[in-house]
A and B are shown apart, each in its own frame.
Chain A
Amino acid sequence: DVKVTQSSRYLVKRTGEKVFLECVQDMDHENMFWYRQDPGLGLRLIYFSYDVKMKEKGDIPEGYSVSREKKERFSLILESASTNQTSMYLCASRPGGGAVGYTFGSGTRLTVV
């Protein structure tokens, strides 16, 4: 019963390519998030969205952008991929309105060569 789906499990891209990471949730959640996970650094917030068509920068937004045209879909865009963006990318969602936990996707392991 997968509820947060990330379109790719593994991706290999070349430096300078434009990369799209897609995330879809079927729980009607208002809030969606993109994190990257690196060894020794934990989970770092890239961007988040509290509603359709709105977006906010997280702690490490440089080199990334996002799009949320529909409530269920939140896309992360690497405008020009660089090797330091090689990482595990995790999408998460949660209901709006209060202190509740995340539901995470399975992650996309991106390698930029």
Chain B
Amino acid sequence: GENVEQHPSTLSVQEGDSAVIKCTYSDSASNYFPWYKQELGKRPQLIIDIRSNVGEKKDQRIAVTLNKTAKHFSLHITETQPEDSAVYFCAASKNSGGYQKVTFGIGTKLQVIP
């Protein structure tokens, strides 16, 4: 089955710096890659996603890049702010028997230091 590896597991950055979280996946059939942000004590929320026919997607200070050949995708956060502190999960999704099967990474705890 699909295997999604995410790193680093923890990341500390100074406010204003950039943060990058990387994920690799094993199944070349995966075609949808969402990212979720989970603040302490709150529900995970979808923040950005990318489909396999796109190499990069941007939404204000966050961007996601996808390299299908290397089977990796990354989340980039620029000009980090304290409210970016959270756990971020990547996921890879593919069609399987008529439904979309999702595999999550283990999560990255991002701390933005004021």
Which A positions have Cβ atoms within 8 angstroms of B? Answer: 4, 31, 40-43, 45, 50, 90, 98-107
Does B106 contact A41, Cβ atoms closer than 8 Å? Answer: yes
Say what secondary structure dominates the interface of chain B: strand
Determine how close the nearest CB of chain B comes to the CB of A84; give it in whole angstroms: 19
- Further 5 A-B residue pairs, CB within 8 A, beyond A90-B44, A98-B100, A99-B51: A42-B104, A43-B104, A50-B98, A102-B46, A106-B43
Neighbouring B residues of A102 by C-beta, 8 Å: 34, 36, 44, 46, 102
Cβ proximity bits B45-73 to A, threshold 8 Å, 1 near / 0 not: 11001010000000000000000000000
Say what secondary structure dominates the interface of chain A: loop
The answer to whether B31 has its CB under 8 Å from any CB of chain A is yes
CA distance A43 to B51 in the complex (A): 21
Known: A31-B99, A99-B100. A40 touches B106 (CB 8 A): yes
The answer to whether B93 has its CB under 8 Å from any CB of chain A is yes
